[in-house]
Amino acid sequence: MKKNILLSILSGLLLWIAWPPTPYTTLLLFAGLVPMLLAMENIIQSATVNKGKKLYWTTFLGFFIWNTLSIYWVYNSLKDAGTVAAIFISLVPYSLGPLLMSLACWMYYRLRLKISRGKALIGLVIFWIGYEYLHQNWDLNFPWMTLGNGFAVSHSWIQWYEYTGVYGGTIWIWAINILLFLIYISFAENMKGKARLKLSAMAAAVLILPLSFSLYRYYSYEEQPNPSNVVVVQPNIDPYGKSGNVPHAEQLRILTHLSNSLAQPNTEYFIWPETALSADMDEDAIRHNPQFEQVQQFISKYRNGNVLTGAETHKLYNTRKTTSARPADPSGRLFFDSFNTALNIENSAEVQIYHKSKLVPGAEELPFGDYLSFLKPVFEHLGGSTGGYGKQAEAGVFYSQSGIGVDPVICYESIWGEYVAQSVKKGAQFIAIITNDGWWENTSGKDQHLDYAKLRAIETRRWVARSANTGISAFINQRGDVVQHSGWWVQAVLKQDINLNSDLTFYTRFGDYLPKGASLLTVIGIFYVIFNLKFRKRINPTAPARG
């Protein structure tokens, strides 16, 4: 048992060392799960009782180490979560990852009781992808640790994400780890040399062929010339001072001054960060808002200019129009929704509005709010922020007067490949990520967030213009290269001629087809396991527990 624990710990440490933003260690992803597979095999082959429970908690230890060391920075963001209850709910999605990973391993163990090891290992990969897709789409979502994200530092290796998205990377990692595990096992089980040679050839092919195709695609890929001049601004205003210590007028002065310092007469887009317009704005009267008028005064100097900026906005209702709406006055006759918003402001009366859709569980949204709506008055009474934001249902696209389509992506949303691709499919020709990474302080969180943006560029073959209030702002080309970037916690402004692209990649057209198929098979596998558990108890109700 002690040996299995050490193997699990080793897996957790290897995966952490290989994880972004650590450079030059990505190769360890292809071996990081081998010790975990060996630990599971040792437990399955042992004569002990309660194998399932032992396997579950042994694997949990390694996954917990990997997750905790990779996303320790999450805890720095909880200072703004509000009440103790809001902090607790905010922590749940991050904590669930290792539990769900171990559940996939437990399902593999149950399959091993009925089918061969090889077929069960295929089932393990399917269950794992099913977990990843669940953790991307339910109300307690946190897809940060999707295995395919691990190649964000070595993006030249996975140019084929334009066909598969990050789930292709998950399959690649598991496939090589499983083949290396089987090669190791072949020695312990005294397999014939021919079988071992076959496994070695398969492992080499699974590693080399995707890598070779990716490197060929990376070095041969050429962007079609279609330039647009874009300016990205990093005002570097302490996120904890945006709503109080720094006057709103001073924040706007910083933004416009930095923008003017690099702008050209033909600049078409100025990208300002999340909640750059920090004074709350009534959307129904936005054209008369002093902040909006100041931005329009600034943009008037640039004929085809647009300002894509984050803002805090709200809408008033006469009834509780949405599930996220809250009372606006003690009488209960007026309600409102608050939004984390992106605005597109141009040289006209036209203003385009997008409401952040992928909200942070706990901090911005009450998970399962339709079923737990009875808790909302409690949070409202305690002053917590849980459930505090409304959202829109679909991805959005902003269009400039000249017809340029841009995908407004607000912070957390940038880790959803399919969601970003939906805007591209609707007509976005480049991606604008607006974020405020200062909550995480000077940790690897800000670097991981930047690295993951490379994956969105590759999946959609779109430039990414990234504006971060406190860093790191950047331009990323269609191959995923960071062409320019700012420093951390400094005022900065970047200018770049980017190439707009209207072509749609295979992934943009079909989205997350891999995990959707795996999820269907996972559901079938769950029913198969449940059926066999119940059938076994009927046949032999006195059988000893096997976990």
Q: Is the pLDDT of residue 363 over 90?
A: no
DSSP 193: H
Element (H, E) at 10: helix 2-18
**pLDDT bucket at 247, cuts 50 / 70 / 90:** confident
Residue 511 to residues 36, 128, 232, 284: CA-CA distances in angstroms? Answer: 31, 19, 28, 35
Q: How confident is the model at residue 243, as a pLDDT?
A: 65
pLDDT of amino acid 376 = 55
The mean pLDDT of the chain is: 90
> Which residues touch 75 (CB under 8 Å, ≥6 apart)?
none
In tens, the pLDDT along 482-517 reads 999 999 999 999 999 999 999 999 999 999 999 999
Q: Is the pLDDT at 390 greater than 80, yes or no?
A: yes
Length of the chain: 547
pLDDT of residue 256: 96
Please state, in angstroms and as integers, the Cα–Cα distance from residue 276 to each residue in 78, 191, 241, 351, following that order.
21, 63, 12, 16
**Per-residue confidence (pLDDT) for residue 380, from 0 to 100:** 46
Q: What is the pLDDT of residue 417?
A: 97
pLDDT at 248 over 60: yes
What is the pLDDT, as a whole number, of residue 383? 38
475 CA to centre of own chain: 19
Q: How is the chain split into domains, by residue range?
A: 2-221+513-539, 227-357+392-509
Give the pLDDT confidence score for residue 379 in this predicted structure.
46
Query: Distances from the Cα of 285 to the Cαs of 278, 282, 288, 335, 351, in angstroms?
Result: 16, 5, 6, 16, 11
How many Cβ atoms from other residues are within 10 Å of residue 118's Cβ?
Answer: 10
- Among 117-126, 151-160, 246-255, 434-443, whose mean pLDDT is lowest? 434-443
- Residue 535 predicted with pLDDT over 80: no
pLDDT reported for residue 84: 56
Token pair listed for 181: 């595990």
pLDDT-derived band at 382 (thresholds 50, 70, 90) equals very low
pLDDT at 235 over 50: yes
pLDDT higher than 80, residue 105: yes
Residue 75: what pLDDT? 78
User: What are residue 336's DSSP bridge partners?
Assistant: 316, 326
Structure token pair of residue 424: 């591209």
542: pLDDT strictly greater than 70? no
- List strand residue ranges (DSSP E) for 94-140, in order: none
Instruction: Decide: 473 and 488 in contact? Cβ < 8 Å.
Output: no
- Yes or no: say if 488 and 471 are a contact pair by the CB < 8 Å rule: yes
CATH superfamily to which 227-357+392-509 belongs: Carbon-nitrogen hydrolase (3.60.110.10)
Q: Is the pLDDT of residue 384 over 50?
A: no
Question: Quick one: pLDDT at residue 531?
Answer: 82
**Nearest 5 degrees, angle CA 275-CA 281-CA 285?**
145
In this model, does residue 90 exceed pLDDT 90?
no
Q: What is the pLDDT of residues 300-348, one digit of tens each?
A: 999 999 999 999 999 999 888 888 888 888 777 899 999 999 999 999 9
Tokens 């071996």 correspond to what residue? 31
| pLDDT band at 373; cut points 50, 70, 90 | low
The pTM for the full model equals 0.92
